[in-house]
Amino acid sequence: MENKNLITVSCTPHMRSKITVNKIMLDVIISLVPAAIMGIYFFGFGAIKVILLSVISAVFFEYVFQKATKRDVTINDLSAVVTGLLLAYNLPSTAPFWMPIVGSFVAIILAKQLFGGIGQNFINPALAGRAFLLASYPAEMTNWVAPGWGVDAVTTPTPLAALKQGVDLVSASGNVISATPGKEDIINALTGNIGGCIGETCAIALLIGGLYLIYKKVINIKMPLIYIVTVFILTGILGRETGRFPLYEILTGGVMLGAFFMITDYTTSPMTPKGQIIFALGCGIITSLIRIYGSYPEGVSYSILIMNLFVPIIDRYTKPVIIGEARK
């Protein structure tokens, strides 16, 4: 019985905002572009390869899983693209071709889809993928190369490795990675002219992306700011054996990437305003502690993964108080 003149009836409200999940994800992708450009500029073809493999496999796994389990295919919401990009940004440009694929599998299938897809995962999928790869293939995951388009990649230590060991390290080509960074090292960290993962080295590109997200109201400045300031203050107070370099600490080792793109992930951060403060603070504290007392040189990804696990309990104890209740 087809009647084209039927009147639409629906529940209130009859107006909806123009914001959609798809538009939010598109904004996140746009904001990640500067970091991709800088990553490719510094690390060359390897970076392109890792980014493409990671994104394509992430979307592919999401599509295949949803088809296989007879669910609605949601790759159009672009969240898999974001996960793929973030995973790639957390890998070295030297990663063999299978690594981004394995990482995407862990991120999309194990961390995201098995828990119900978008919005249901309890840990950040991209970081779960990275953590899995780091634990399983530590050698490949820490095969850093110095920036440059050279055919023969030059292996190099990362700035934080030098800080961690407390001695100046020397790259294969003879460049000194200082354990007591000066002005020049800080400028290198700002522009991304240092060794590290594809998307984490250029602090300026990440800042531009982050500011774009704040301008578009996709994220609130609160969480990134609290996180960065906490790391700055704690590393500044605690310091390393060779000295205190808080500014250098927040520019290296993925703090910017984590601050603007990882801890602000809607799904794996608290929903309540108060909870978000606790979460960002916790991430900052754990990052600083891992860096200074732990055996890993950086600590951003583990701090976020650890705090992800606390999100349900944070949400539970920071439930918003209804306006007027305080007077009871």
Summarize as ranges the residues that interact with another protein (CB under 8 A).
Answer: 5, 7-17, 19-21, 23-24, 74, 77, 79, 116-120, 266-267, 269-273, 276, 319-328
| Nearer Cβ to another protein (23/49) | 23
Look up residue 107 and give its DSSP letter: I
Q: Min. distance of Cβ 266 from another protein in angstroms?
A: 4
| Nearer Cβ to another protein (51/223) | 223
| Nearer Cβ to another protein (211/271) | 271
Q: C-alpha distances in angstroms, 179 versus 26, 230, 326? A: 39, 22, 52
Of 98, 62, 104, give the one whose Cα is nearest residue 84. Answer: 104
Q: Min. distance of Cβ 78 from another protein in angstroms?
A: 12
Q: Min. distance of Cβ 306 from another protein in angstroms?
A: 19
| Nearer Cβ to another protein (135/323) | 323
Q: Min. distance of Cβ 82 from another protein in angstroms?
A: 11
Of 277, 326, 278, 282, give the one whose Cα is nearest residue 300. Answer: 282
| Nearer Cβ to another protein (150/273) | 273
Of 285, 272, 283, 280, give the one whose Cα is nearest residue 313. Answer: 272
Q: Min. distance of Cβ 290 from another protein in angstroms?
A: 26
Q: Compute the distance between CA of residue 210 and CA of residue 212 in angstroms, rounded to an integer.
A: 5
Q: Compute the distance between CA of residue 52 and CA of residue 54 in angstroms, rounded to an integer.
A: 5
Q: Min. distance of Cβ 77 from another protein in angstroms?
A: 7
Q: C-alpha distances in angstroms, 256 versus 56, 120, 137, 192, 251? A: 25, 25, 25, 12, 7
Q: Min. distance of Cβ 269 from another protein in angstroms?
A: 8
Q: Compute the distance between CA of residue 311 and CA of residue 237 in angstroms, rounded to an integer.
A: 27
| Nearer Cβ to another protein (21/154) | 21
> Could you give the residue ranges of the DSSP H alpha helices within the chain?
21-43, 45-68, 79-89, 98-104, 125-136, 138-141, 159-165, 183-191, 203-215, 222-238, 246-251, 255-257, 273-293, 300-317
| Nearer Cβ to another protein (242/272) | 272
